[in-house]
Structure 1
Amino acid sequence: MDDVVVNNRSLKGLQSHLHSLNGERDIILFKINGLNQQLGEVNNNINKTEKMLRLMKRNNVIVSEHAILRFIERVQPLPPSEVAARILTPSLKNMVLTLGNGTYPVDDFLVKVRDNIVVTVIKRNK
Structure 2
Amino acid sequence: MVCPARTADEPEREMLEPDESLYQVFVDDNFHYRDESHRYLDGQFATYDEAVAHCRAIVDGDLENAFKPGATAEERFATYSLFGLDPFIKTPPERRVDPPFSAWDYAKERCGLLPRDATIPEA
The bucket for the TM-score relative to the shorter chain is under 0.3
More contact order relative to length (CA 8 Å, sep ≥ 6): 2
Q: Which structure has greater helix proportion? A: 1
TM-score (norm 1): 0.21
Compare CA radii of gyration and give the structure with the larger one.
Answer: 1
